A and B are shown apart, each in its own frame.
Chain A
Amino acid sequence: MAGREVLRPIVLAGRFFRIGALNELQYRANFAIQVFQSAIALGTGLAVLALVFSQTTELNGWSEPELLVVMGVHILMGGVIGMVIQPNMVRLMEDIRRGSLDFILTKPDDAQVLVSVRDIQIWQAVDGLTGAIVIVVAVAQLGGAFGLGQALLFGLAFVLGGLTIYCFWLILTVGAFWVVRIDQIVELFEGVYQSGRWPVTIYPGWLQVSLTFLVPIAFAVTVPAQALTGRLTPGTLALAAGFAIALMAFTRWWWRFGLRRYSGASA
């Protein structure tokens, strides 16, 4: 029984994914456009890497294939954000502003789960796939032994990073209960997220701390990339796990706190 409770969000996400897929499959040209856009983004990223490595052989201790790993993780996580996290949060902001969040609150399932999985942009999966391919190519370029253990470690770090980013987004979005208009944060986040294209260790100290705890880019991209390049220490992984769990607990409390502030369209 308890197990089913835990799996409930995943089951719901699956259902919503199917609805989203059926809906979007009507607009198949969007798929071609998404492929084209992902290809351009990938080409730009590769051009930048080539430019950097035309001037140097390593960046702060990271070789070219290692930075390619970082780029792959960045694209993959960007795909997850664009597919699940951002569309849901943007819709939540809209619902809070217009008062239509009422419709979610009256449903029998957990409201936080519902607002987090109900909108899934399936074409963004193209980005996820692109990221995965880049990661595979980069890991192959790295050579050396790549074992199942490392893959599992990466999977764990990636899930923790995804949860951290999700919490970060929801905490900001819940701010809409007080501030109402916060659509600017979408662009703000997209700007800051670009910093994850590089390992956060290259940034000056104050920026590194901000990109770790304020906007958790480090946990979302750099830490999983460290897992793939044999840099991940048990300490870092423990920190990532501890931070993710603490943040999820805080987010849960914050969400309920915000809900009490929400008074609906009709109230």
Chain B
Amino acid sequence: MTGGLAGEPELDRDRFVPRAGLIRGWVDLYLTMFRVAILNNIQYRVANYFYMIGMIAEPVIYLVVWSTIARQQGGAVGGLTSGQLAAYYIVWTLVRQMNIVFTVYGWDERIRQGELSAMLLQPLFPIHWDIAFLAGWKLVTIVMWLPIAVVLTLVFSPALNIRVIDVAVFAVAIWGAYLVRTMLYWILGMASFWTTRAGPLFQLMFTAELLLSGRLVPLSLLPDWAQRLADVLPFKWTFGYPIDALIGQLPAGELIGGLAMQLLWIVVGVIGVRIVWRIAIRHYSAVNG
């Protein structure tokens, strides 16, 4: 904060507070956005709770179908028992919440309504707003999720066998998943700079993700070729991997390796966001004259 009109209160404060550096600016932004998002989420808690409960229908359906098959086959399908499937789909509900990122459909509005122009005036790269706001939102969501998890556990009696390291890796991996998915959907959402009919493109991506992330079924139930395909795509690091990290009793190598893969995809995503953003912004300015 420099300059401005003499006598403004900020000027007085400026004498005592050192000028914020870039890092300091980030920290301030994140802390403030956390606070805003938390208050916002608490304010609409009833509506949000309905939303969360509505989201439970999906995993319960998958769980019932696959447990039925497991029971018919004498207790297990593809090596997974009903109890393990229950554990998978209960953790699923939290990972699904962590997966919520700024919607690709929101880009259309940002561009059409000119919100983007305001974003461009901010000194920080706009992705930080989205990351910070939704991260704060999730802090409340995690707390709200706990009672749901208790109820689901009582109803579906999952087989839980969790080590300390699993919990530690899971606690990191859900945030890694959030970042991977944020980058992915930022890049995809920016397609709205070029077309107002990006809907089919988004849907193709959603479908690929649904099938190859572990959201629909644990990846081990997919045919071999599909599993190999999932290995080279980012999706499984946003869904199947965090769940397996907590309940899959993965060896330490795989646990850490998974985090490394998340980091790799985050880096790739950041580079992708930067490149696409630069081209997109040039395009945006051109349209506006």
Q: Is the CB–CB distance between B57 and A202 below 8 Å?
A: no
Q: Is the CB–CB distance between B54 and A195 below 8 Å?
A: no
- B47 at interface by CB-CB < 8 Å: yes
Interface string of A8-51 (1 = CB under 8 A from B): 00000000000000000000010001001100100110011001
Contacts A55-B77, A202-B64 given; does A184 touch B51 at CB 8 Å? yes
Interface string of A182-213 (1 = CB under 8 A from B): 00110110011011011000111001000000
Q: Is the CB–CB distance between A48 and B216 below 8 Å?
A: yes
Contacts A43-B207, A188-B53, A198-B65 given; does A36 touch B200 at CB 8 Å? yes
Stretch at the interface among B15-23, B169-177, B217-225, B263-271: B217-225
Chain B, interface SS category: helix
Instruction: List residues of chain A with CB under 8 Å of any chain B CB.
Output: 29, 33, 36-37, 40, 43-44, 47-48, 51-52, 54-56, 58-60, 181, 184-185, 187-188, 191-192, 194-195, 197-198, 202-204, 207
Q: Is the CB–CB distance between A33 and B61 below 8 Å?
A: no
In the complex, A47 Cα to B217 Cα: how many Å? 12
Contacts A33-B197, A33-B200, A195-B61 given; does A56 touch B69 at CB 8 Å? yes
Q: Is the CB–CB distance between A55 and B65 below 8 Å?
A: no
Interface size on B, residues (CB 8 A): 32
| Beta-carbon contacts under 8 Å, B44-74 to A | 47, 50-51, 53-58, 60-61, 64-65, 68-69, 72-73
Chain B residues within an 8 Å CB radius of A184 = 47, 50-51, 54
Shortest Cβ distance from A43 into B: residue: B207
Chain A residues within an 8 Å CB radius of B144 = none
List 17 extra interface pairs beyond A52-B69, A195-B61, A203-B64, CB under 8 A: A29-B197, A36-B200, A36-B203, A47-B211, A51-B221, A55-B77, A56-B72, A59-B65, A59-B69, A184-B54, A187-B54, A188-B51, A191-B58, A194-B57, A194-B61, A198-B64, A207-B64
- B204 at interface by CB-CB < 8 Å: yes
Chain B residues within an 8 Å CB radius of A44 = 207, 210-211
- B199 at interface by CB-CB < 8 Å: yes
Chain B residues within an 8 Å CB radius of A181 = 47
In the complex, A29 Cα to B72 Cα: how many Å? 46
Shortest Cβ distance from B211 into A: residue: A47
Q: Is the CB–CB distance between A37 and B68 below 8 Å?
A: no
Chain A residues within an 8 Å CB radius of B69 = 52, 55-56, 59
In the complex, A51 Cα to B200 Cα: how many Å? 24
- B78 at interface by CB-CB < 8 Å: yes
Minimal beta-carbon separation of B25 from chain A (angstroms): 36
Q: Is the CB–CB distance between B217 and A51 below 8 Å?
A: yes
Name A60's contact: one of B47, B56, B68 (CB within 8 Å): B68
Cβ contacts A to B, 14 pairs, < 8 Å: A33-B197, A36-B200, A51-B216, A55-B69, A55-B78, A56-B73, A59-B72, A60-B68, A185-B50, A188-B53, A191-B54, A192-B54, A194-B58, A207-B60
Minimal beta-carbon separation of A252 from chain B (angstroms): 27
In the complex, A188 Cα to B54 Cα: how many Å? 5
Chain A residues within an 8 Å CB radius of B51 = 184, 187-188
Contacts A51-B221, A51-B222, A55-B77 given; does A40 touch B54 at CB 8 Å? no
